[in-house]
Structure 1
Amino acid sequence: MASVALELLYVLGGLAALWLVWRALEWGWLRPRRLGRALRAQGLRGTAFRFPSGDLAEETRLLAEQRAKPLPLSSAHDIAARVEPLLHKAINEHGKISMIWEGPTPSVILSDPKLVREVLANKSDYGKHELPSNFVKLIGKGLLTHEGEKWAVHRKIINPAFHLEKLKKMVPAFTNCTIELMGKWEDMIGSDGSAREIDIWPELQDLTGDAISRAAFGSNLSEGRRIFRIQSEQIQLATTMTNLFIPGYSYLPTKLNRRVKRNAREVEALLKAIITKKEVALRNGHADDTDMLGLLMLSNMKESQESGSSEPMMTIDDIVGELKIFYFAGMDTTSVTLTWTMIMLSMHPEWQERARDEVLQVFGNKQPDHNGVNQLKVVTMVLYEVLRLYPPFTFLARQPHKEVELGGVKYPPGVQLFLPILTIHHDPDVWGKDVNEFKPARFAEGISKASKDGAGFFPFGWGPRRCIGQNFALLEAKVALSMILQRFSFELSPSYTHSPFRVASLQPDHGAQIMLKKI
C-alpha cells in the first residue's frame, strides 16, 4: 500500500509540474504569439515579441541614451523623444497606431485623441490595466486599482470630500504650508537683497507633502509627515524594480522586496492608528469635516446607513488603501506641476510678470482665498500650458474586458491599450506647428478650443475615471504659486540642467536650481 501511495504521489507531483510548465509556456510564449498574430493580421505594425521581457531591454537602452544628454534650452520643450523614447521610435517607424511589448503583453499605442476619448468614456468595455502586485504594494489599493462595483462604491463615498465647497476648507492648509516654506526661503536668501540659488524640487515636494498631511489629517500633522516620507521612498523604490511583470517576483525574499514590505507595514500601522482615533471621535459625537479623512469617514457612515448595512461600506483596510494612493498621486501631481511651472516662468519672464500682475491685482498682498483663485485667468492659462508640455503622468493604460472594435481594429482580451498623454500633448497634428513652444495664450478661450479637435488635452485623464483629485491639485497649485509670485521673482540658475525624466511622474532628473530674489 505504501508503494502505491508513493507512486500516486509521484504521479500527482509530475502532473502538477507539467501544469506549471504549461502555464508558464502559455503565459510567456503561446499567448503573446497568438495575440501578436491576431493584431498583425488586421494591419497593425510594431516591434516583434522578444521572450520573455518584450521591449524592456530596448527601452532601458534608449532611456539611458537619452538620459545621458540634457536638452538644450533652445529646444527645451521638445521632450517627447527624451521622456518616452520607445514610444517615439515606434510611432515614427510604425505609425500613430502601433504595437510594442510590455513583457509578454502586447501594448497598442493609440495616438489618436478621438480614440483615446472613446476608450476613456467607456468603463463597461475597458478596465484598468492590471498593475504588478509589487507596484500595488508600493502605492496601495484604491480608486487607482479598483474595478466594477467596488470602484463605483468607493468613488461615491469619496466624491463628497472633493466637492468644491469642501475644498474651500482646505485653503488654510495650503496657505499655512506655503507661508512656512516662504519664511524658510527668506531666511536662506538673507537681507542683503541679492538672489540666492535654491533647488526648488525637493522644497516643493516637502510643501505638497505637508499640505496633504494637513488637508488629510488636520491635527495629526507629525504622523502625516512620517507617512509622506515613507510613501516618497516607496515611489523612489519603484524606479529600481525592473521585474515587476514577472508573476511571483514580489514574493521573492530580495532586499528590495523586504524593504517595500517593511515600509508598507509601517504606513498601514500609522494610518490605522489615525483612523481609529477619528472613529472614536465620531462615535462620541465629535464629527469633524475640516480634513479629508473626516469627510471620507462621515461619507462612509452615511452611505452605510442609507444602504441598511450593519457593516461599513468601506473597511479600515479600504480607507488605508485610499489614503496611501492619495499621498502617492496628490503629492507627486502638485509638486511636479509647481516645479515645472516655476521653471517655465523662469524661462519665460514675460509670463512671470503677467501672472504676478494678475495675482497682485486680485489679492494685493493678502493671502489667497478660494473666491479670488477662481478669478485667476492668466495663472490658469499658465498652469494648463505647463500640464500640456509637462504632464505629471505621461500615459494611461486600459484593457478590454471582451473583444472590442476600435477604429476599425478588433482587440481581444489580453491586449493593453496604451494612451500616451505626453505624445498627444506634443503632437503638431493636434496642436499646430508651435506645439513645442510655451504659449499659455492657446488656452485663453478654455480647454475645448485650445487644440484642433478639442480632445487633445487630458493630463488628469478623461471620462468617468478622470482623476478625482484634479480640483484639489489645481487649487493647491494656484494658491502656492500666487503666494510665491507675491513675494519672489525668479530666474534659472546657471547650474540648471534641463533634463525631464519619468520616474513615477515626470520629474527634473538633476533638480530645479532657481535664482530666487525677494521682491
Structure 2
Amino acid sequence: MNRLKGMIPTIVRSGANMLDGWSKLILSGASEIDVQKEFNDLTADVISRTAFGSSLTEGKHIFEMQNKQMILVVDSFHSVYIPGFRFLPTAKNRQRWNVEKEIRRSFRQIIDGRERTAITEKSGRYGADLLGFMMSESKEQGRVNVKSNGSLSTEEIIDELKTFYFAGHESTSVLLQWSIILLGIHQDWQERGRREVMEVCAKNNYPDADSLSRLKTVGMIINEVLRLYPPAAHILRMAHEPMKLGRLSIPAGTQLEIPILAIHHDPALWADDANDFNPGRFNEGIAKAAKHPMAFMPFSAGPTICVGQNFALLEAKLVLAMILQKFSFVTSPSYTHAPSLLPNLKPEYGAQLIFRME
C-alpha cells in the first residue's frame, strides 16, 4: 500500500486532465458525455504512467493490439472447439498470431530501450515503476535476457506486462463506468457520496492518501457496484489433489467454475433486495454485508486473489471522489442498459450521462 500511495499524485494529474476536458465541453454547451471512452483513456494513461513510466500516447498502439486480441479470444470462445484447429493457418489464426507477435515486439522495444538507457547512463537502474522493478530484479551482469535462478526472463517479463496492461486498465475502467451509471440513476446515493467528499476534502482539494481512508460512503458505493457488476462474471480453478467440498468428492484434475455474478445476486446470501442497488448493506464492512463472509469476491479470493485489487480500488475511489467534487450528473435518455461480457462485464452501447458543474 505504501507503493500505491506514492502513485496517488500521478492518478490525480491524469484525473484532473480528464475533468478539465469535461468542464470545457460543458462550458461549450455539450452536457452529454459518453464516459466509456473517457474512462478507458484515463485508466490506460494511469497504468501506463504508474507501471511503465510512459504516457498514453506511447502505449496507445499496444492497447489497440490488445483490444484486437481480446475480441479474437472471445470469438474463439464462441466457436466449436476442434482439437488441433488452433495450429492451422486459417485467416483468424493468422490474425491471432500476428497480433500476438506485434504486442510482444512492442513490449520488447520498451525493454530494450530501458536497457540502452541504463548502459548509456552507467547507472544500473531501469526505473522506479513496475517494469523497472522487474528488470532490476531480473538482471544478471547487466542483461535481463539472461535467466538466472529465481529471476524472470525477458519473455516472462513481457507476459507480466501484457497482464498488467490489460487488467490494469480494463477492469478499473469498467468499475468506474458502472459506478457513474448507477449514481446517475440513484441520485440519493450520489448526493450522499458528494456530501462526504465535500466534508472530508472540501471543493478544491483533491483527495490524498489520508482523506481517501475516510471516504467510507464512497467505499460502500464502490463495493456495491462491484457486487452487482463484478469485472469477472466467473473464474476457473483446478483441484490439484482429491478434496471434499461439502458432500461432494472432487477428483484431482477437476476444473471448477465459480460463478461470481450468480453468487453476488443470490437472495439466499444477500436477502430479497439482492438485485437492488443498496450500498448501505456494506455499512458494517464486507464480512457482514451478506449471510456468508465469503459471498463477496469481485477480485476472487485466497492465495490467487487478483494482484491488482488494491490498485484498482485506490484508483476508482480517487477518481470517483474527484468527479463528485466537480459535477452532478444523471443518466442520459440515450443510455441503453445492456451489460455485455466481452470479457469483462461492461455496458455494450456505452455509458452516456448528462453532467452539470457544481
TM-score normalised over the length of structure 1: 0.64
Tell me if 1:485 matches 2:321. Answer: no
Which segment is superposed worse, 263-272 or 241-250? Answer: 241-250
Aligned equivalents of 2:93 and 2:15: distance in 1?
36
CA contact (8 A) 2:41 2:56 kept: no
- Aligned in 2, Cα 1:464/1:436: closer, same or farther, shift over 3 Å? same
1:278 matched residue in structure 2: 114
Aligned equivalents of 1:359 and 1:300: distance in 2?
42
Question: 2:60 is matched with which residue: 222, 225, 249?
Answer: 225
2:92 matched residue in structure 1: 256
CA contact (8 A) 1:213 1:225 kept: no
Aligned equivalents of 2:169 and 2:25: distance in 1?
24
Tell me if 1:514 matches 2:353. Answer: yes
Tell me if 1:370 matches 2:206. Answer: no
CA contact (8 A) 2:126 2:135 kept: no
1:76 matched residue in structure 2: none
Bigger radius of gyration among the two:
1
Q: Report the AA paired with residue 176 of structure 2.
A: L
Tell me if 1:468 matches 2:303. Answer: no
Q: How does 1:66-81 map to 2 (within 5 A)?
A: none
Aligned equivalents of 1:239 and 1:190: distance in 2?
40
Q: Report the AA paired with residue 195 of structure 2.
A: D
2:291 matched residue in structure 1: 452
**Structure 1 regions of 5+ residues with no counterpart?**
1-163, 303-308
Aligned equivalents of 2:257 and 2:110: distance in 1?
38
- Aligned in 2, Cα 1:244/1:215: closer, same or farther, shift over 3 Å? farther
Q: How does 1:19-34 map to 2 (within 5 A)?
A: none
1:7 matched residue in structure 2: none
SS of 1:328 mapped into structure 2:
helix
1:349 matched residue in structure 2: 187
Aligned equivalents of 1:424 and 1:168: distance in 2?
32
1:292 matched residue in structure 2: 130
Aligned equivalents of 2:117 and 2:340: distance in 1?
44
Q: How does 1:95-106 map to 2 (within 5 A)?
A: none
Q: CA deviation at 1:341?
A: 0.2
Q: Report the AA paired with residue 264 of structure 2.
A: H
Tell me if 1:198 matches 2:40. Answer: no
Q: Report the AA paired with residue 296 of structure 1.
A: M
SS of 1:227 mapped into structure 2:
helix
TM-score normalised over the length of structure 2: 0.91
Aligned equivalents of 2:240 and 2:148: distance in 1?
33
1:34 matched residue in structure 2: none
1:180 matched residue in structure 2: 17
CA contact (8 A) 1:170 1:291 kept: no
Q: Report the AA paired with residue 83 of structure 2.
A: P
CA contact (8 A) 1:301 1:312 kept: no
SS of 2:300 mapped into structure 1:
coil
Q: CA deviation at 1:280?
A: 4.0
Q: Report the AA paired with residue 92 of structure 2.
A: L
**Structure 2 regions of 5+ residues with no counterpart?**
141-146
Q: Report the AA paired with residue 291 of structure 1.
A: D
Aligned equivalents of 2:195 and 2:288: distance in 1?
25
Q: CA deviation at 1:422?
A: 0.7
Q: Report the AA paired with residue 160 of structure 2.
A: E
CA contact (8 A) 2:45 2:55 kept: no
Aligned equivalents of 1:244 and 1:177: distance in 2?
43
Aligned equivalents of 1:219 and 1:347: distance in 2?
36
Question: 1:329 is matched with which residue: 162, 167, 170?
Answer: 167
Aligned equivalents of 2:206 and 2:124: distance in 1?
30
Instruction: Give the root-mean-square deviation of aligned CA atoms.
Output: 2.1
SS of 2:6 mapped into structure 1:
helix
CA contact (8 A) 2:240 2:252 kept: yes
Q: Report the AA paired with residue 15 of structure 2.
A: T
Q: CA deviation at 1:244?
A: 7.2
Question: 2:260 is matched with which residue: 415, 421, 435?
Answer: 421
Q: Report the AA paired with residue 426 of structure 1.
A: H
Aligned equivalents of 2:117 and 2:6: distance in 1?
20
Question: 1:435 is matched with which residue: 261, 274, 292?
Answer: 274
SS of 1:489 mapped into structure 2:
strand
Percentage of pairs with the same residue: 44
Tell me if 1:380 matches 2:219. Answer: yes
SS of 2:224 mapped into structure 1:
helix
1:23-47 deviation line (CA, Å, top 9, x unaligned): xxxxxxxxxxxxxxxxxxxxxxxxx
1:406-430 deviation line (CA, Å, top 9, x unaligned): 2222223453211111111001111
1:81-113 deviation line (CA, Å, top 9, x unaligned): xxxxxxxxxxxxxxxxxxxxxxxxxxxxxxxxx
Tell me if 1:171 matches 2:8. Answer: yes
CA contact (8 A) 2:115 2:126 kept: no
Q: Report the AA paired with residue 232 of structure 1.
A: N
